[in-house]
Amino acid sequence: MFRELKTLHSREPACKKRSDSDHLRFIIHRKENDDDLKFDFAIELNGIKSWAVPEVPSMNPLDQRQAKEDEIEANKILETLEHSLTEEAVGAWDKGNYIPIDDNGNVLSEYEALESLQQGSLKFFLQGTKLVGEFVLMKRGSTNWLLIKRHDEFALYNYYSYETVES
C-alpha cells in the first residue's frame, strides 16, 4: 500500500501547515431533490474543493463516476465542515480522512497534492466508513472530472453500488 508514511507538511505558504497528527479530511453529502439523487464530494485542500457526483461513488474500479467542480457548494461546505466532520452530519453519506499519494503510493504534501489537482489528476487514499482505498480524480474538460476507484486490495469488482436509500 504505502512504502512509508511521510508527514503532510506543506513546503509553501499557500497551504496550511499541518502537524504530524493532523489529517486531511473528506466528506460526501447525499442530496435528494425531486426524485434526483446526487452526492457532493468535498476534500480539504488549501481550503475546500468540491465536486457534484450524480451517482453513488463506487468501490468497483470498472465504474467511472462523472464529477463536476462545484465552487458554490465548496464555499457552503467550508462554513459547515468542522461541524460536519466532528459530529453526526445531516446528509453525510461518508466521511473520514484521505491521504494524497503519487503513482507509487508515496504520500504527497498538501502543496504537492494541490499541484497534482491543478495539473488535472489527483490520486488519494480514502479512509472512510464506506469508501476505503485508492481513488483518483481525473480532469475531463474545463470543469468535468471522473472519480474512479483504483485497483487495490480494497476494490470490489462484483459490487454494483451501495444502497442509496440509507442515510
- pLDDT tens digits for 125-162? 999 999 999 999 999 988 899 999 998 999 888 755 55
Contacts of 57 (CB under 8 A, 6+ apart): 28, 39, 41, 65, 94, 131, 147, 149
Query: Residue 156 falls within a domain, yes or no?
Result: no
Query: Residue 105 falls within a domain, yes or no?
Result: yes
- pLDDT tens digits for 2-24? 323 233 333 333 344 444 456 89
- pLDDT tens digits for 32-46? 776 678 898 999 888
Query: Residue 81 falls within a domain, yes or no?
Result: yes
Note the pTM of the prediction, 2 decimals: 0.76
The residue written with cell numbers 494541490 in the block is: 114
Q: CA 83 to CA 111: how far, in whole Å?
A: 25
Query: Residue 9 falls within a domain, yes or no?
Result: no
Query: Residue 62 falls within a domain, yes or no?
Result: yes
Q: CA 65 to CA 40: how far, in whole Å?
A: 12
Query: Residue 165 falls within a domain, yes or no?
Result: no
Query: In the chain, how many domains are there?
Result: 1
Q: Domain range holding 132?
A: 24-149
Query: Residue 15 falls within a domain, yes or no?
Result: no
